[in-house]
Amino acid sequence: MGRTSIGELLDRLREQTSIDLACTDQDRSGDPSIVADIRDAQVWQVMDALRSLVSYRGAMWVWERTPTSSGFRYRLRRPKPAQDLAGSVRDWAQAQFEQSLEVLIAAAQASPEARKAGAGTLNAALWRDPNENADKLLRDERCWDGFRCVADALPTDERGAALRRGVSKQMPVSDLPPPTQEFVMREWRTADAHRRIGPNGPI
């Protein structure tokens, strides 16, 4: 069958088997795309595999069976915990990202000795193995200059809007502290030196 939506798969099964299978429109359970190969599979196997495929712990999908005059009607439902899963994962990932950024900014503003002492915390903030050697990261002053630049350009009270809502900010380089100005200009010169010229100008 190849790639299809859950709704299209159940429509096809209903046509082939005359079993009343469908999704519920209100929770958009028929929208997700899947790849299905159901040759030689029984209908109950397809139904069970489909529910397992889209369910997660604490966010289970369910088959709702209702008696009818001719047998049963089956509706695949996505209860509210399952509907909220994508948003919950997104919020969790955003919170982890913001927390990691704050750890890295704090490290950038600390002394090299303090950073080295907190190497395990830095690895955790970067989702790396806590036992992994962080020497390369600790020696990368360009990396720490970049995090200091973020802190100088985006004070704590403005950071959330930029990270969560994509709010952009423009400011003169001259408004940054001198060390950060030097970093920005150095990065600009490096980028400018590698800029390629195409038929219609810089690429």
- Write out the chain's pLDDT in tens, 203 residues: 689 999 999 999 999 999 999 998 899 999 999 998 888 899 999 999 999 999 999 999 999 999 999 899 999 999 999 999 999 999 999 998 898 899 889 999 999 888 888 877 787 777 666 556 667 778 888 999 999 999 999 988 888 888 888 788 888 999 999 999 999 999 988 887 766 555 555 55
* Residue percentage of the chain with pLDDT more than 90: 56
How many Å apart are CA 38 and CA 55, to the nearest integer?
Answer: 19
How many Å apart are CA 175 and CA 172, to the nearest integer?
Answer: 5
How many Å apart are CA 169 and CA 152, to the nearest integer?
Answer: 12
pLDDT in tens, 118-177: 877 787 777 666 556 667 778 888 999 999 999 999 988 888 888 888 788 888 999 999
Contact 54, 6 (CB under 8 A): yes
Contact 42, 36 (CB under 8 A): no
Instruction: Give the residue carrying structure tokens 């003169």.
Output: 172
Please count the other Cβ atoms lying within 10 Å of the Cβ belonging to residue 78: 25
Phi-psi region of 77 (alpha: psi -120 to 50; beta: other; left: phi over 0): beta
